[in-house]
Amino acid sequence: MVTDGVSDAWHRDLVSPMLARWGRAMPVAIVHLLPHRLWSRGGMGVCQTVLTPPGPLRPNGTYDVRSADVLLDPEEAEGLTAGAVPVPVLELQDRWFGWWASLVTGVGGVARKAAVVLARDEPRPADADTEARVERSAREKVQQFHSSASPPAFRLATLLAAVPVDVGVARTLQAELVPGSGPDHLAEVFTSGLLERARDGTPWDRAQWEFAGHVRQLLLRGARRSDTAHAVISASRRFGDQKPVLVRLQAALAAPDATPDPALPAATPAEIALERDLMRALSGPYLSRADRLESRIAGIGQLGDRTSTSIPAVSDTMSQELKPMGSSSEPESVVRPDARTVDISPSSSEAPPALRTKVVREVADMTSRSVRRSGDEAPPVWGAVPPKNPNFTGRRELLDQLGERLGAGTTAVLPAALHGMGGIGKTQMAVEYIYRHLQDYDIVWWIQATQPTQIRKSLTELAQHLRLPGADEAITAVPAVREALRLGRPYRRWLLVFDSAEDPEMVRPFFPVDGPGQILVTSRNPGWAGIARPLEVAVFQRDESKNLLSLRRSGLADEDSDLIAEKLGDLPLAVEQAAAWLAETGMPAEEYLRLFDEKVTEILDTSAPSDYEVSVAAAWNVSFDELSSRSPAAHQLLQVCAFFAPEPISRSLFAGVRGISVAPELDSALRDPMRLGRAIRDINRYGLAKIDHRSDTLLLHRLVQLVLRNRMGAQDRMEMRHGAHLLLANLDPNDPASPQTWSRYQEILPHIYDTELTECTDPWVRQLVINLCKFLYHWGDHQGALALAERAVKAWATDREARVVRGEEPAEDPPLLELSASERLAFFQWVVGRYNDAAEVAKETRRRYVEAVGPDREETLNAQLTYALILKARGEFAEARNRNREIYEKAVALFGDDDPITLGAAHELIVALLLTGEYEAARDLAEETHRQRAEIFGFDNDNTIGTEVVFVLARRELGHYPWARIEMQRIAERAEQLYGGDSVGTLRRRYFESVACRKDGDHVAAFELSGDALKKFRARYGNNHPNAMACALGHSIDLRHARRFADARALGEEVYDLYRENLGEKHPHTLSAQLDLGVTLRLGGDPASARVVDEKALAGMRETLGEDHPNTMVCGIDLASDLFALDRVGEAAALDADLLDRARRVLGEDHPTTLAVQLNRSLDLRALGETAEADALYDDALTRYRLVLGENHPGTESALRSVRADCDIDPMPL
């Protein structure tokens, strides 16, 4: 039966009697058209069971069936399956069909886990509680969908929220705006519960669908405004002649005030509500239209609660959770088209013909382009630029000089640098320059440059905004975006601003080189003068100070302005704060100067700061004192924020806080969104922080943070810093491997070091640190993960040792979090190639785990697996195999053979067996492990695919070349569907496919595959990455088969040097590269050099792997051919004789390596005149070549010409 499982018949269980009847007569299965993860969305009740068929081709009704739900007690489990006919449910994938075929045709008595429908003769009774269930709120629905949906499905839902919905519209938006998505993502949206189908009898594929309750408004909050506009344009272009509402929406985008407002009966109430929601989501110039529509809705009196705009607490809880990737600080004009270029067909709208245009341009167009815009319209690509300061004054000469420096040419010249002391206005100058030169750039991207992780985060977001290949991971996104900017594609006119870039050596590697755009740096470090075109920013001129004061406080006497400016030392930050205070309070200048002098005295009595620090502290302390008395909660909120990084702080940090205590008044505000809103408004009133409502963030200047911290006593500082720790930990989604949670970790990321997060002893905070390390690794920032793990391990070990000295209780006993961080540290050291350090840390961590919790805990086994991984990297394959076997056997004994922990241990053992050349054992274990992982996790699970890959590798090394090629091609194609064409998972499988093609004799396909994979590997990961080195080695072999010996030698020598540098002289993979280079040297005409190289490789292989390892035998085969080429036939014959006996014993008589040495041995004998034995060996070898490799394989064709066989080594993955 083939079904999507969503019809009413499934919900009412009407199909069950038919399935039960069929299942008693014959083998039956259900083929589900949706992927496994979506089965629960329909009405099909799928259960996990264990099936045992009595024999082949038996009806389902004869199967023994037991529930696999471990949460059921025995009686419940028995009652669940009693009298039921189990019908397996399959995905529409060949692997699922293969599983079912093996179930139906296999031998009886073998138990298999299966997802089934338990069919009975009567439909199951309707759930009596169904009617009584409480309907979830719109917020709960969207939150649930956002947490569980795939990224393409969630993006599609946010796009559909902008338009009237039917299946045709959804398919159009999916095709144009969600590339790479498929029918399963469409089904994911329509079965999510967010949409309700109109009950008018129209078939589902033509019916109108409506978003339930406030769902539409919430989804629009989670979308970029540019994407929302693009959805309207795309839908209108395709369906405008059928749906006039789309044409009106498009016209309103172009001219919100000029386009007539909709009215009954031309527009339905629902259409008016849709337009209102759309206008409100776009905000800016569209808000006035939204307000008019709201008034019209209220007048209609027909829409009821369904269209009300009141969404309680949405902004406090949803805006950050649904925040789209990229900047939310884009100006409103980003989505506003130029009305002069719009053109709408008169036949479909009352809007004039001049109103239709392509408003939203495709950023992913990889041809260089420049976009003409009006002077106040933001560039197409706009990221994290702070809002324009309406009170900016003066600096005209400096702005002119900055324009000259940025207009001097490409980034090859040098970046421009604004430098000066803190609070001098460097950032404000950069912001003002940008808003005055919007028309000069197509990309403006603001980068907080205090830490490498923040720069990688920002550049990764830019890569995603440009839709560059590899944009999902920092390790690939950063080089991709630097290259795109260097080439000027898709845009040539770009400006990158590196704000607060205090360390030139840290920041400069992130600069695009020789590109057509510009770079602007702001820094307190005058050292930029030597490597940039510097522009020093000094204090205000006196007139500039007085202008700013009078701008904010009208009526201020000139002499009073002069006195205040003098007191403040003309420091812009202090002048701005004084102006805000005077404007808010209306205090006379004389009173303000008296308070200011009191604060200066207090500061000088307690410290000896620099002159400019005195003016800042005094000016701000006047405001802080007033705030602490009027709004203690607001003051305490500022105190906590003083310990975050001087970057925009997301309001989500303070929303939904439970079970945390920081300070009494602040605690109350954190639990009450209304009080929290009042506290933030109080901060804003006094100008104590910059509030950005577009990004829902607040920002404190670093000097203001310093003043706040200096005002606190030691105990208060400790408590407020700890409060910052707890607020960050409260934001932890505790799922660092899931891309859906990465935006949350990116919010936390900037504050790791400023808050001194690693110094905290709270277990939840320490778990956050570990999760941040894991996030950085999965996100692709391996160096960032390593640095944070090193810092955490050092801090936690220091704390533990200090407590011992002081005789205090440890922060945790046993120290499981510290050990977890240590285990991750060893892994990250392995990732970046610090193998000796990794081995030392892993060994000590394993010892401490055994000491702390014993050898049988899951944590101990994980630490042992990490240690075994590092042994492989060091080339100690046999020791790694022994360790992995011990771990696997222990896991089987402790957890069973199908537990995920055991399966993970089994996979690592398979890898070790491949490295030690035990291919049959690896194949057998891989086949069983893959079957178990597929049953538990599904066929498309990353772990399942990983085990399937090593299974194919094992069979490939056993000589099953045609099968391995077909299977690896299928896996690579599936990986491309799942992960994208340029992901590391796909590239790695394409490389494996290239090796399989070469071994199967298709050298042309192998050459193309390895060349393409190598180019992408090196572009994204550099030459030293393990995958890049292995792929380069394979491509050097492919170059040799193409008879490009000079190129093959050059690349082979380069790869050999890389392996020596990264893994060491005696590592088996280094020796493999050495051996492959030797073959190239001989075939390129230098057998003498080849002999020297291959002799060293053989000696190394014998020492590290042993005589019987297949790679050692391959070295011997090639060395014998070197000797033969040098006319040392007797030595070659003796070596080949030994190798033939060894290969037959280890690999079998029909293995391609055995056939190679048998062919060569026959040619040795023929050269020595032993014709009879030579002919017998040759004829047998040729017959076997034809049977094993086929008549047309290059190896067979070479054997027919009596050409000696060469062998290569493709290193196994570590």
Q: Which DSSP symbol is given to 690?
A: E
Phi, psi (degrees; rounded to nearest 5) at 1149: -70, -25
Residue 37 sits at the vertex; the CA angle it makes with 31 and 41, to the nearest 5 degrees, is 85
Chain centroid, CA 842 distance in Å:
27
Secondary structure of residue 546 in the 3-state scheme: helix
Nearest to 278 by CA among 245, 301, 304: 245
d(CA 1122, CA 1105): 22
Q: How crowded is residue 428: how many other Cβ atoms within 10 Å of its Cβ?
A: 20
State the burial class of residue 854 (Cβ atoms within 10 Å of its Cβ: 0-12, 13-18, 19+). exposed
Q: How crowded is residue 16: how many other Cβ atoms within 10 Å of its Cβ?
A: 24
Q: Edge to edge, what strands does the sheet with 518-523 contain?
A: 381-383, 443-448, 494-499, 518-523, 416-419, 533-536
d(CA 344, CA 237): 10
Compute the mean pLDDT over every residue in the chain, rounded to the nearest whole number: 84
Extract the tokens encoding 301: 């009196």
State percent of the chain over pLDDT 90.
42
d(CA 944, CA 948): 6
- The letter for the amino acid at 314 is V
The CA-atom distances, in angstroms, between 104 and each of 33, 49, 939 are 21, 16, 19
Mark 1116-1142 as b/e (b = at least 16 C-beta within 10 Å).
Answer: bbbbbbbbbbeeebeebbebbeebbeb
Fold classification of 989-999+1006-1200 (topology level): 1.25.40
ω before 265 within 30° of 0 (cis)?
Answer: yes
Phi, psi (degrees; rounded to nearest 5) at 610: -70, 165
- Per the document, the length of the chain is 1214
Fold classification of 381-536 (topology level): Rossmann fold (3.40.50)
Q: Which DSSP symbol is given to 689?
A: S
User: What is the model's pLDDT at position 365?
Assistant: 35
Nearest to 187 by CA among 29, 7, 16, 2: 7
State the burial class of residue 393 (Cβ atoms within 10 Å of its Cβ: 0-12, 13-18, 19+). buried
- The letter for the amino acid at 363 is V
Contacts of 608 (CB under 8 A, 6+ apart): none
- The letter for the amino acid at 445 is W
Nearest to 897 by CA among 867, 953, 935: 935
Extract the tokens encoding 540: 């205000």
User: What is the model's pLDDT at position 1203?
Assistant: 94
User: What is the model's pLDDT at position 407?
Assistant: 66
Fold classification of 631-731 (topology level): Arc Repressor Mutant, subunit A (1.10.10)
Q: Kindly compute the dihedral angle of the four CA atoms of residues 638, 639, 643, 645, in this order, to the nearest 10 degrees.
A: 10
Q: Hey, which residues does 650 pair with through a beta bridge?
A: 697
The pLDDT tens digits of the residues spanning 1129-1154 come to: 999 999 999 999 999 999 999 999 99
* Weakly modelled stretches of the chain, pLDDT under 70: 70-71, 126-135, 147, 284, 300-376, 407-413, 599-619
ω before 814 within 30° of 0 (cis)?
Answer: yes
Contact (CB, 8 A) for 494 and 485: yes
Residue 442 sits at the vertex; the CA angle it makes with 441 and 443, to the nearest 5 degrees, is 95
Contact (CB, 8 A) for 727 and 653: yes
Q: Which residue has the tokens 């079957």?
A: 931
Secondary structure of residue 237 in the 3-state scheme: helix
Helix (H) or strand (E) holding 131: none
